[in-house]
Structures are given as structure tokens and as C-alpha cells.
Amino acid sequence: MAQRKIIHVDCDCFYAAVEMRDDPSLREVPLAVGGEGGRGVVTTCNYKARAFGVRSAMPGGEARRLCPGLVTVPTDMARYRAVSKQVMAILRELTDLVEPLSLDEAYLDVSEVSDHKGSATLMAQHLRQRVKDEVGITISAGVAPNKFLAKIASDWKKPDGLFVIRPEDVDGFVRDLKVEKLFGVGQVTAGRLHALGAGTCGDLQNIPADVLLEKFGKQGYRLREMAYGRDDRDVVVSRIAKSVSVERTFSQDLPDKRACESVMASLVADLNLRLTRKSARKPIHKLFIKIRYSDFSTHTLERVREQIREPAMEDYQPLLDELVSNAERPVRLLGLGVRFRSDESPVMQLRLFD
């Protein structure tokens, strides 16, 4: 089987990041989301608060003792969900193989993606830049041959970091990795591993498999696999792709509508390429077009077009004509897409190339 390429992305102090984005005065102070009042618990805090020892799940009273200047704001889940949706939509433009773990983190399997020269590192850089530009928060990313290592990598250079573990680096990387970093190893398990003489994965590799099985049961097998940097879990997709789109941000603004028309043909070709990657073409329900002007204002337009099988340039021209009222306005981003007819029964989408 070809070498897998997995990216794990994790939004930095997510709820706090959204609050700081929406109220810039909060960027300069130690901030906790949640934890106000006598019995509140801190949900997330920013890095200024973490410097005082404040942590998520800590009672608000304790957090204020550690950090007397702590500012607290109430949680606003509807707002965080909306921002999460924006982030996940950006991830899904790169690949359908996205497995969200929570509102603020997800795995992507990009093994078959040819965009960005097929380089998972370039893909991760692209995603981080887009989230920063379009959503206004930072994400950290880890790139590795499997889920276990990608998740460790995304934490390696937090916040706002990118860390890559190449296949040839795996052995050297895990040998020095502390056992506390392993998934499912808390204080108790770490203590038991230390008692066996294992402080790092390198030490853990030297403990016979039968000893680990005897001491830890089924978890012993998993510990041994992780100690060698092995993990064969797939990225699990449990949502139906409702749309497919392509977009391009131009390093120099397109000067006018005519310039947009000149790049549309290649965008339509990219879109059809992405559509053929789907295991089966679903019935198209709508076409949509998206434009971001040089002043960053963004406009979209969609129209029902159910008879179209393979979208062509002339199918998008009427949408462009309708959306662009000022033909001389410089354009920073242009995107095209299709929405599929909704089918209410959810389907597990399997990897194409297993």
C-alpha cells in the first residue's frame, strides 16, 4: 500500500481565539472563557492566562487565585459552532476525507490529493494561511504517515505552528518521545511504565510484548505499536459531501470582469477534475459562484440547474453576469462550485483506494 499522508489540524485555544478576534481589547489580557461566578469552570483560556498556570477544566475560583487579573467571558457555543463550520469547510475543499474530532480539530487523509504538488506540507501551509486570512484565527498542524503521529506533531510547535514527521524520521522521533505523550497514557499508566523502566518510547520498545500484555491487557498491544510509531487507523468520514468547489486567490488582483472570464475556463476544468474523483457523480442541484473583491468583501450567488451533468464555462457565465454589477472592480478571489441534490439517508463514505 502507498505511503499515507495524514494532516491533523487543531485550532489554537479555539473559544478564546474567537473571543479575541471579535473583541481586540481581549488580546492584551489573560482571558478565560467560562469560569465566571462561584462554581464556573474554565472551558478554554488564552496563552497569557496559561502562563499563570490557568488550564481548561479548572474551577474559576482557583484560576482567579493563580491569575488575579484574569478576565472571564461567558461561552457562546452558537458563535463557536459557526466559526468551526467555516474552518471545516476550508478543510473539505482540499479533500472529502476529513474526520472532525470536535469543533476545533480534525484529521485529513491527503494521500491521494494532487493539489500543491502532492505535498502534505504545502497543503498544511495552505490550510493554515487560509484559516488565518478568512476566519481570523490560527491553527496548528501536524503532518505524518499516520493519525497517532500527526496528532502529536500538531501539538509540537503550538501555538500557530507546523511540524512534519517524514516516514524516514519516524524511528528517530519516537525513540526519544516521552511515554506521557502517548494517546491514553495519563498519570497512572505513565507511573506504571516508569516503574518498568520506560520513560521514553525507546525504553518501551525494549520491554517484551508479553510483559506489556500481562501488565496492561489489550492496551499493552496498543502501547507497543505506538512505541514504534505504528497506527493503521483510517480517517473515518461519516458525512455526505453536499457540494464540491474550487477557488483561486490571486497574488495580484484581477483587474476586471474580463480577466475573471479568462481564468474561469481553467477553474471549470479543475472543478470537473474534482467531480470525477468522486466515486460516483451525484445529481447536481445548483451551481454557485463566489467572488472576493480587493477590499475583501465577499459575494456569492447560486442558482438551481438540475439538468447539468458536467458543468461548462457557459453554465457559469450567466451567474457571473448576474453577480458582477461593476465590471471594473478588481477581484482577489474567484470560486466556482456545485451543490448536490440532498439525499436524507446518511451514507458512510469509504476510502476509494483501500
Which residues make up each annotated binding site for Mg(2+)? Answer: 10, 104
- Which residues carry a binding-site annotation? 10, 104
β pairing state of 71-73 and 243-254: unpaired
Round to whole Å and give the CA distance between 62 and 41. 9
Residue 228 exposure: Cα atoms within 13 Å on the Cβ side = 12
Cis status, amide bond into 159, omega within 30 of 0: yes
> Which DSSP symbol is given to 121?
H
Give me the catalytic one of 19, 93, 99, 105: 105
User: How are strands ordered across the β-sheet holding 31-34?
Assistant: 42-45, 31-34, 71-73
Cell numbers for 135: 476566519
The answer to whether 175 and 189 are in contact (CB under 8 A) is: no
Nearest CA to 62 out of 46, 39, 45 is that of 39
Long-range contacts of 115-121 (CB under 8 A, 24+ apart): 120/5, 120/6, 120/7, 120/164, 121/162, 121/164
The answer to whether 347 and 240 are in contact (CB under 8 A) is: yes
Nearest CA to 99 out of 34, 9, 207, 188 is that of 9
> Which residue type, as a one-letter code, is found at position 125?
Q
Residue 105 a catalytic site member: yes
The answer to whether 121 and 136 are in contact (CB under 8 A) is: no
Residue 265 belongs to what H/E stretch? helix 257-277
- The total of other beta-carbon atoms located within 10 Å of residue 8's CB is 26
Cell numbers for 93: 475543499
Catalytic residues, which ones? 105
